[in-house]
Structure 1
Amino acid sequence: MKFSILSVAAAAIAVTMAAPLTKRATDNNLVVGYWVPWGDVPISALDMSKYTHINYGFGVLWKGAASPATVTIDRYYDGDNIQALVTRGNTAGVPILISIGGWTGSQTFSTVAASASLRKAFINNALVFVRQNTAGPDAENPNGWGMDGIDIDWEYPAREGAPCNTYAPQDSANYLLLLKELRAQLDLEFPAKRKLITAAVRVQPFDDASGKPMSNVSAYVPYFDWISIMAYDIMGSWSATTGGNAPFNTPPSPGDPFSFVQSINSWRSAGWPAEKLVVGTAFYGRSQTATVNMDTQNPITMYAPHAATVPKGGPGDSNESNFYCNEGTEWSGQWKWKELRGGPLSAGPASPSAGWTRHWDNATQTPWLFNAGTKTFISYDDVQSLTVKVNHVKSQGLKGVMLWDMSYDYNAELINVLNQVHGPSPTSTSTATTTTITTPTSASNTITTTPTTATATTTTATTSTTTPGGVCVGVPAWNSATVYGAAGTKVTYGGYLYTSQWWTQGETPSDAAWGVWKRGAAC
Structure 2
Amino acid sequence: MISSTWLAGWHITDATPTFGLRNISWSKYTDIYYSFAVPTADTRTITLNGSDGSALPSFVEQAHAHGVNAHVSVGGWGGSIYFSSSVGSAENRTLFVKAITDFATKYSLDGINFDWEYPNDQGIGCNIVGANDTSNFLAFLQELRADPVGAKLTLSAATAITPFLDSTGSALTNVSAFVSVFDRLMLMNYDIWGSWSTAVGPNSPLNDSCAAPENQQGSAVSAVTAWHAAGVPLEKIVLGVASYGHSFSVNKTSAFVPGSTTQLAAYPTFNASDFPLGDSWDNAATVPDACGLLETNGGVYDFWSLIERGYLTAEGNFTSAYPSRYDSCSQTPYVYDEDNELMISFDNAESFAAKGNFIQQYGLAGFAMWEAGGDSNDILLDSIREATGFEDDC
Q: Structures share a fold, TM > 0.5?
A: yes
1:323 positional shift: 5.4
Cα offsets for 1:108-133 (capped at 9, x unmatched): 111122111111111111112221xx
Cα-Cα RMSD: 2.1
Structure 2 match to 1:206: 164
Runs of at least 5 residues in structure 1 that lack an aligned partner in the other structure:
1-28, 132-143, 426-511, 513-523
Q: Distance in 1 between matches of 2:345 and 2:245?
A: 5
2: distance between equivalents of 1:393 and 1:265? 13
Match of 1:58 in 2: 36
Is the contact made by 1:199 and 1:228 (CA closer than 8 Å) also made in structure 2? yes
Structure 2 CA distance for aligned equivalents of residues 113 and 101 of structure 1? 13
The equivalent residue for 1:128 is 102
The answer (yes or no) to whether the contact 2:264–2:325 under 8 Å persists in 1 is no
Whether 1:272 and 2:250 are equivalent positions in the alignment is no
Larger relative contact order (Cα-Cα within 8 Å, sequence gap ≥ 6) = 2
% identical equivalent positions:
31
Alignment partner, residue 242 of structure 1: 200
State yes or no: 1:296 paired with 2:257: yes
The answer to whether residue 269 in structure 2 is matched with residue 305 in structure 1 is yes
Deviates more, 1:153-162 or 1:249-258: 249-258
Partner of 2:171, secondary structure, is: coil
1:177 corresponds in structure 2 to 139
2 CA distance for matches of 1:107 and 1:71? 12
Q: Does 1:70 align with 2:38?
A: no
- Cα distance change on mapping 1:411 and 1:217 into 2, 3 Å: same
- The farther-off stretch of 265-274 and 370-379 is 370-379
Give the alignment's TM-score, normalised by structure 2. 0.91
What whole-Å deviation, never above 9, does each CA across 1:296-350 have from its counterpart, x for those lacking one?
3378532111112210112332314345322414210000000011121135422
Which of the numbers 401, 412, 423 marks the counterpart of 2:378?
412
Letter in 2 for 1:172: T
Higher helix proportion:
2
Distance 1:221 1:241 in 2: 36
Q: Which segments of 5 or more consecutive residues in structure 2 lack a partner in the other structure? A: 12-17
On the 8 A contact 2:119/2:133 being kept in 1, the answer is yes
The one-letter code matched in structure 1 to 2:175 is V
Residues 287, 377 of structure 1: 8 Å contact kept: yes
CA distance in 2, matches of 1:369, 1:419: 25
List aligned pairs for 1:92-491, cutoff 5 A: 92-131=66-105, 144-185=106-147, 188-189=148-149, 194-250=152-208, 251-291=211-251, 292-297=253-258, 300-308=264-272, 309-319=274-284, 320-322=286-288, 324-343=290-309, 344-346=311-313, 348-352=315-319, 354=321, 356-420=322-386, 423=389
| TM-score (structure 1 length as normaliser) | 0.69
> What is the total number of aligned residue pairs between the two structures?
378
- Name the aligned partner's letter for residue 324 of structure 1: A
Contact 1:287–1:379, Cα closer than 8 Å, also in 2: yes
Secondary structure at the aligned position of 1:317 is classed as: coil
8 A contact 1:239–1:256 mirrored in 2: no
Structure 1 residues 421 and 30: CA distance shift in structure 2, 3 A: farther
What residue in structure 2 maps to residue 135 of structure 1?
A: none
Distance in 2, matches of 1:190 and 1:398, equals 25
Structure number with larger C-alpha Rg: 1
For the structure 1 residues 190 and 258, does the alpha-carbon distance in structure 2 shift closer, same or farther, using more than 3 Å as the test? closer
After superposition, the C-alpha distances for 1:214-243 in whole angstroms (9 at most, x for unaligned) are 111111101001010000000000001111
Distance 1:269 1:327, change over 3 A: farther
Contact map agreement 2:244 2:302 (CA 8 A) in 1: yes
**Aligned mates of 1:78, 1:374 — CA distance in 2:** 35
